[in-house]
């Protein structure tokens, strides 16, 4: 049994909140740069160049890339041979508090959805915990902006609607989102599971490295096909027209019921952020 | 590139066309979801707004906290459509320009023709870059709203696109059509 102090979890989450908001991951930055090279429409190419410049300014001046520094989504994979000294969830919330206050990140969380008073420190975090083999803790902090989150959708399709129904739903979601989620967007798509699991898979899909394909060739081909369909809409960067509507798209699929075909599309933006640390 | 200074005149607004790129300087005010609800409440009760709206430009933005030695934190636009419900009323009270991201409702586009106004799109997500175009920032109302308080900003050449003009045209439809024609 390995001992890990809750204080170390707090320190790590605080650091990851700040780093994720200031430094765009290399894979997303590269995808932006590549899209700029390949964009055939001049106004869209100029916009993509501005996004690259913004990422550079944020990195060099230690300013947040985007003013919407998001709700802090935390994925924790806890090894079953770890004993945590202290309160695990409280340690994560404390890390978010410290990261958002010390890092001068925007406090974008209200404590109640209808009475809407800002909590003042961006807590609580949304925590997804999974028990895994081993004696380590893997923490991923993914600050999620709501301009894109608001454009996300979930639908319980029927089995008869099949893959065509899935494609139709993804495209419909992208078209409804239009210019709102700060395209070029990144899409996380969940297929299968049940009502809440499909949404979780869509969120997890956003954490995957850009350009990485699903291990299953069937879904890898579907990823390519969907990306091509989305980039044929003409929405383009900022919705002002162009090829680059989507930088990358990942699918996660899972077992489901004989009566169902759940599908969820979690929409993200060109500032798709996630940073990971292993304790 | 066309240079403009806020507040805007009716002549400024009538000379702008969807798709045009401009650099905006001068004074604008930030207001987003919560501040719009309070402004609507003020109007309903006949109370004064935090600023005289005539000719003014509202930037739908809530910046990150201001770092020491800088005028403002990162400050990009938020999604404008959430402000659509209150916009026709504000336009009727003299509002002449808005800065945000994304498309507007048919009602807003109609109201922008009845009370000539312009809607600019800023580059969504490019918030560190835009902070460099703000030379001063001062909270003028509703400090309790934190990032959503109303702030007076002085801009220096903020790069914007005329996203919707006073003639009912929008740059999203025009731009997407132009791109799709170019690849036919």
A105 contacts in chain B (CB < 8 Å): 64-65
Beta-carbon separation of A234 and B76 below 8 A? no
Judge whether residue A212 has pLDDT over 90.
Answer: yes
pLDDT tens readout for residues A60-96: 999 999 999 999 999 999 999 999 999 999 999 999 9
pLDDT tens readout for residues B29-75: 999 999 999 999 999 999 999 999 999 999 999 999 999 999 999 99
Exposure class string for A5-41: b at 16+ Cβ within 10 A, else e? ebebbbbbbbbbbbbbbbbbbebbbebbeebbeebeb
Judge whether residue A44 has pLDDT over 90.
Answer: yes
Give how far B140 is from chain A: nearest CA, Å. Answer: 19
What is the interface pTM, i.e. ipTM, of the complex? Answer: 0.93
Beta-carbon separation of B67 and A53 below 8 A? no
pLDDT of amino acid B174: 97
What average pLDDT does the structure give for chain A? 97
Give the contacts of A54 (CB within 8 A, at least 6 positions apart): A65, B123, B125, B126, B127, B128, B129
Q: For residue A138, which of A4, A20, A22 has the smallest C-alpha distance?
A: A4
Sign of dihedral through CA atoms B86, A180, A45, A26? positive
pLDDT tens readout for residues A160-192: 999 999 999 999 999 999 999 999 999 999 999
Two tokens, residue A248: 């990358």
CB-based burial label for B154 (10 Å; 0-12, 13-18, 19+): middle
**In chain B, what are the domain boundaries?**
2-182
Task: State the maximum Cα–Cα separation within chain B, in Å, rounded to a whole number.
Answer: 55
Give me the total of CB pairs closer than 8 Å, taking one residue from chain A and one from chain B.
152
DSSP code of residue A116? -
Residue A65 forms contact with B (CB below 8 Å) = yes
Residues of B with a Cβ under 8 Å from any A Cβ are 34, 61-67, 73-76, 78-79, 81, 101-103, 121, 123-129, 131-132, 145-148, 159, 161, 171-172, 174-180, 182-183
Which residue of chain A comes nearest to B164, CA vs CA? A240
pLDDT tens readout for residues A217-244: 999 999 999 999 999 999 999 999 999 9
Judge whether residue B184 has pLDDT over 90.
Answer: no
Judge whether residue A198 has pLDDT over 90.
Answer: yes
Class of domain B2-182: alpha beta
Mean pLDDT within A251-277 = 97
pLDDT tens readout for residues B65-89: 999 999 999 999 999 999 999 999 9
Beta-carbon separation of B175 and A240 below 8 A? yes
Q: How far is CA A77 from CA A25, A134, A144, A190, A210, in A?
A: 20, 10, 19, 20, 21
**Residues of B noted as catalytic:** 36
Which residue of chain B comes nearest to A232, CA vs CA? B180
A128 pLDDT band, cuts 50/70/90, is: very high
**Domains of chain A, earliest start first:** 2-20+65-144 (3.30.360), 147-272 (no CATH)
Residue A108 forms contact with B (CB below 8 Å) = yes
Mean pLDDT within A140-159 = 97
pLDDT of amino acid A234: 97
pLDDT tens readout for residues B152-169: 999 999 999 999 999 999
pLDDT tens readout for residues A3-22: 999 999 999 999 999 999 99
Judge whether residue B1 has pLDDT over 90.
Answer: no
* pLDDT more than 90, % of chain A: 99
B144 pLDDT band, cuts 50/70/90, is: very high
């Amino acid at each position: 049994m390995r001992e890990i102090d809750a204080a170390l979890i707090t320190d790590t989450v605080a650091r990851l909140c700040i780093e994720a908001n200031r430094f765009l991951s290399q894979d997303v930055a590269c995808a932006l740069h590549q899209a700029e090279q390949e964009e055939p429409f001049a106004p869209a190419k100029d916009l993509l160049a501005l996004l690259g410049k913004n990422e550079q300014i944020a990195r060099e001046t230690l300013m947040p890339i985007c003013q919407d520094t998001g709700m802090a989504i935390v994925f924790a994979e806890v090894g079953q041979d770890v004993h945590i000294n202290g309160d695990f969830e409280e340690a994560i919330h404390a890390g978010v508090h410290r990261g958002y206050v010390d890092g001068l990140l925007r406090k974008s969380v209200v404590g109640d959805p209808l009475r809407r008073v800002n909590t003042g420190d961006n807590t609580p975090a949304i925590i997804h915990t999974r028990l895994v083999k081993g004696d380590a803790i893997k923490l991923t902090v993914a600050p999620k902006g709501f301009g894109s989150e608001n454009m996300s959708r979930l639908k319980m399709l029927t089995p008869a609607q099949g893959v065509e129904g899935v494609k139709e739903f993804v495209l419909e979601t992208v078209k409804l989102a239009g210019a709102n989620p700060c395209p070029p967007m990144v899409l996380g798509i969940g297929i299968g599971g049940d009502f809440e699991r499909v949404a979780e898979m869509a969120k997890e899909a956003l954490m995957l490295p850009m350009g990485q394909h699903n291990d299953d060739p069937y879904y890898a081909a579907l990823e390519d096909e969907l990306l091509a369909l989305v980039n044929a809409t003409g929405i383009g960067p900022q919705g002002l027209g162009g090829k680059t509507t989507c930088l990358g798209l990942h699918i996660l699929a899972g077992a489901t019921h004989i009566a169902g075909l759940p599908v969820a599309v979690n929409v993200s933006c060109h500032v798709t952020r996630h940073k990971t640390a292993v304790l | 590139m066309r240079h403009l200074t806020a507040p805007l005149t009716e002549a400024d607004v009538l000379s702008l066309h969807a798709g045009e790129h401009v650099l905006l300087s001068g004074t604008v005010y930030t207001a987003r979801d919560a501040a719009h609800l309070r402004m609507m409440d003020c109007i309903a009760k006949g109370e004064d707004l935090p600023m005289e709206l005539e000719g003014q430009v509202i930037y739908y933005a809530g910046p990150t906290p201001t770092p020491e030695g800088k005028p403002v934190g990162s400050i990009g636009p938020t999604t404008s459509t959430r402000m659509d419900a209150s916009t026709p009323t504000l336009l009727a009270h003299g509002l002449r320009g808005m800065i945000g991201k994304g498309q507007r409702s048919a009602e807003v586009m109609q109201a922008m023709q009845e009370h000539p106004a312009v809607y600019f799109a800023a580059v969504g997500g490019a918030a560190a870059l835009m902070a460099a175009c703000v030379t001063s920032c001062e909270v003028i109302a509703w400090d309790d709203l934190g990032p959503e308080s109303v702030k007076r900003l002085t801009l220096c050449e903020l790069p914007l696109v005329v996203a919707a003009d006073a003639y009912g045209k929008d740059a999203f439809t025009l731009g997407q059509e132009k791109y799709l024609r170019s690849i036919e």
